Chain A
Amino acid sequence: MEKQLRKEAQRSASLKVKSGLAQMLKGGVIMDVVSPEHAVIAEDAGAVAVMALERVPADIRVQGGVARMSDPGLIREIMASVSIPVMAKCRIGHFVEAQILEAIGVDYVDESEVLTPADEDHHIHKHAFGVPFVCGCRNLGEALRRIGEGAAMIRTKGEAGTGDVVEAVRHARTVLGEIRSLQAKPHEELMAFAKSIGAPFELVLQVRELGRLPVVNFAAGGIATPADAALMMQLGVDGVFVGSGIFKSREPARRASAIVRATTQYRNPAILAELSANLGEPMSGISAAGLAENQKLAGRGW
């Protein structure tokens, strides 16, 4: 009875409870996994959460075709294998995939550009869900549109599946730089600024007041080494997603643990040096600059 009442209260779910979980993930590493075995390796290495997938982004790139929500059977197996939160991806705009993920009981839904978009104009109305959402962004306007739709957590898009951190850096610098320039603006310029970046005015005011996004902001897309993770943390994000970088490397368990520790001690070069030593080969990767426009995933999202 008590649980039933709580469930009902949750329907009108407070953003505090939804964004609160993301606050608990801060300073942590969220890892892409494709099996219960991977999930256990990630948890043992100290991941704060796992992203349950059928294919990591690097394989989606190679194999092509339409990338969809993963099999709920696989997601359930991964959920049963670990005690940490489990996230799963749905296609942009595919609110029925999101409903299914909510019904399975995943802890966070990633409305992700890594999968093939289902709607080329609209994202999911995320306020309608009890499960919280994380969404990708390349700039402040995109971040605030997603938050306006109900996202309780934001991540930079980077360029997933490349092992090249350059796009994650570009997107983090863009978002954080735009916040800094917003803070320097006088009030009368804020409406035109909101219009120019296509962001809800109220959220622009809130960001100016807070000096940061109103929700947790992680980096993602191309992070492959402890130094990459620490770089993103020093740039000012709250935590990191590592996708293909771990399980496409030679020694996933060691690399995963080193990236977790680097994310904690990101300001301590002596420790970072120690952590970076003898990790075995990283994922080989592809240069994001060499990708044709139609091979870039980050352009998906509106």
Chain B
Amino acid sequence: MEGTLKVGVLALQGAFIEHIHKLRELGVQCGEVRLPQDLQGIDGLIIPGGESTTIGKLMASFDLMEPIRRFADRNAVWGTCAGMILLAKRIEQGQPVLSLMNIAVERNAFGRQIDSFEESLPVAVLQGGEACPFPGVFIRAPRLLEVSSPAQVIARLADGTAVAAVEGKWLATAFHPELSRDLRFHQYFMEMVRS
């Protein structure tokens, strides 16, 4: 049933192959996006984890900023970790970003690599709901400082820190569903692509 849909994964730098493996597990067709013409014929886009400064500079360098913004007007886009930073309208440091979602993001919000961690997250919008927590992998992760309407928080850590948000067809997660075995976030994104 997913046969007709194709999802692109931004493949400039970072953990793009992990997303592609997850999509293939769901039977979704996918393609790597390295240049503007790669956006043709895809129905959704994932911006993977990686270094947000590197990915942002490469997006600017290969003239992808405007084409991705235009693509996002009509299509679903999901950013994980670095991808979330690139989707945010507000970040504290000057670096090239897409500025799409009404969220403010703090980079490296939990500290350095030694402070990276795993924590289970109750996420109501996923299949199974809060009763079935999602394994969150946080690596030098950002966090959501502010989420303004129409963006909404959909996941928090036990201490209340907001770590995932949705706004229309755009999804942002501070953690890495592509590094866990759980496919539910990718399924959730595919529902956004289909709608």
Interface of chain B, main secondary structure: loop
Given contact pairs A2-B159, A23-B179, A14 touches B118 in the complex (Cβ within 8 A): yes
Give per-residue flags for A4-46: 1 if the beta carbon is below 8 A from chain B beta carbons, else 0.
Answer: 0011011000101100110111111000000000000001001
Interface residues on A, range: 35 or more
Within 8 A of B (CB), among A178-196: none
A17 and B15 contacting across the interface, CB-CB below 8 Å: no
With beta carbons under 8 angstroms apart, the residue of B61, B108, B140, B159 that contacts A261 is B61
A-B contact count (CB 8 A): 123
A16 and B93 contacting across the interface, CB-CB below 8 Å: no
| A83 in contact (CB, < 8 A) | yes
B118 and A16 contacting across the interface, CB-CB below 8 Å: yes
Give per-residue flags for B98-115: 1 if the beta carbon is below 8 A from chain A beta carbons, else 0.
Answer: 000000000110111111
B139 and A3 contacting across the interface, CB-CB below 8 Å: no
| A264 in contact (CB, < 8 A) | yes
A17 and B14 contacting across the interface, CB-CB below 8 Å: no
Given contact pairs A2-B159, A17-B139, A20-B179, A48 touches B51 in the complex (Cβ within 8 A): yes
B51 and A49 contacting across the interface, CB-CB below 8 Å: yes
With beta carbons under 8 angstroms apart, the residue of B54, B82, B139, B159 that contacts A46 is B54
| B29 in contact (CB, < 8 A) | no
Contacts of A257 in B (CB 8 A): 61
Min C-beta distance of A281 to chain B, whole Å: 23
A131 and B113 contacting across the interface, CB-CB below 8 Å: yes
B115 and A6 contacting across the interface, CB-CB below 8 Å: yes
Contacts of B113 in A (CB 8 A): 21, 85, 107-108, 131-132
6 additional A-B pairs beyond A46-B54, A107-B114, beta carbons within 8 Å, are: A20-B176, A21-B113, A24-B15, A24-B139, A26-B14, A28-B54
Q: Can you name 23 A-B residue pairings with CB atoms under 8 Å?
A: A2-B157, A3-B110, A6-B115, A7-B115, A9-B117, A9-B118, A10-B114, A10-B117, A17-B117, A20-B176, A20-B179, A23-B179, A24-B82, A24-B140, A25-B51, A26-B17, A28-B14, A28-B50, A83-B108, A84-B51, A105-B111, A261-B58, A265-B62
Report A's interface with B, CB cutoff 8 A: 2-3, 6-7, 9-10, 14, 16-17, 20-21, 23-28, 43, 46-49, 83-85, 102, 105-108, 130-132, 257, 260-261, 263-265, 268
